[in-house]
Amino acid sequence: MPGGRSGDQERGEALAANLTRSGVVGVALCYVDTAGITRVKGISTAALGSACIWGVGMSPIFDIMMADDAIAETATLGGPDGDIRLYPDLEQVTVLAGQQGWAWVPADRVTQEGGPHPGCTRTLLRHVQSGLADEDLEFRVAIEIEFTLGRGDARDAEFVPACDGPAYGMTRMIELSAFTRDLLAALVQQGVEVKQLHPEFAAGQFELSVAPLDPVRAADRSVLVRQTIRSIAGQHGMRVSFAPSVVASEVGNGGHVHLSVWRNGVNLHAGGSGRYGLTEKAENIIAGILDALPALAVLTTPSPASFLRLRPSQWAGVYACWGYENREAALRLITGSVGQRADASNVEVKCADLAANPYLLLAGLLVAAKDGLRRDLRLPPETSGDPASLGTDERARRDVRRLPTTMEEAIDAFMDRPALRDRLGPVLTEAILAVRRGEAARMANTEPAAVAAAYRWIY
Residue 232, C-beta contacts closer than 8 angstroms, at least 6 positions apart: 98, 179, 182, 183, 186
Sequence ranges of the chain with CATH classification 3.10.20.70: 8-116
What pLDDT, on the 0 to 100 scale, is given for residue 4?
61
Q: How many whole angstroms separate alpha carbon 25 and alpha carbon 459?
A: 27
Fold of 8-116: Ubiquitin-like (UB roll) (3.10.20)
CB 72 within 8 A of CB 434: yes
pLDDT digits (tens, 9 = 90+) for 274-323: 999 999 999 999 999 999 999 999 999 999 999 999 999 999 999 999 99
Render 231-273 in DSSP notation, one character per residue.
Answer: HHHHHTTEEEE--S-SSTTS------EEEEEEETTEETTSSSS
pLDDT digits (tens, 9 = 90+) for 98-117: 999 999 999 999 999 889 99
Buried b (16+ CB within 10 A) or exposed e, 203-213: bbbbbbbbebb
What pLDDT, on the 0 to 100 scale, is given for residue 23?
96
Structure confidence at residue 267 as a pLDDT band (50, 70, 90): very high
Q: Quick one: average pLDDT of 136-156? A: 95
Task: Return the axis-axis angle of helices 121-133 and 215-235, rounded to nearest 10°.
Answer: 140
Structure confidence at residue 1 as a pLDDT band (50, 70, 90): low
The CATH number given to 131-455 is 3.30.590.10
Is the pLDDT score of 3 beyond 70? no
Is the pLDDT score of 272 beyond 60? yes
What pLDDT, on the 0 to 100 scale, is given for residue 100?
94
Q: Quick one: average pLDDT of 64-74? A: 93
What pLDDT, on the 0 to 100 scale, is given for residue 283?
97
Sequence ranges of the chain with CATH classification 3.30.590.10: 131-455
pLDDT digits (tens, 9 = 90+) for 403-447: 999 999 999 999 999 999 999 999 999 999 999 999 999 999 999
Q: How many whole angstroms separate alpha carbon 173 and alpha carbon 46?
A: 41
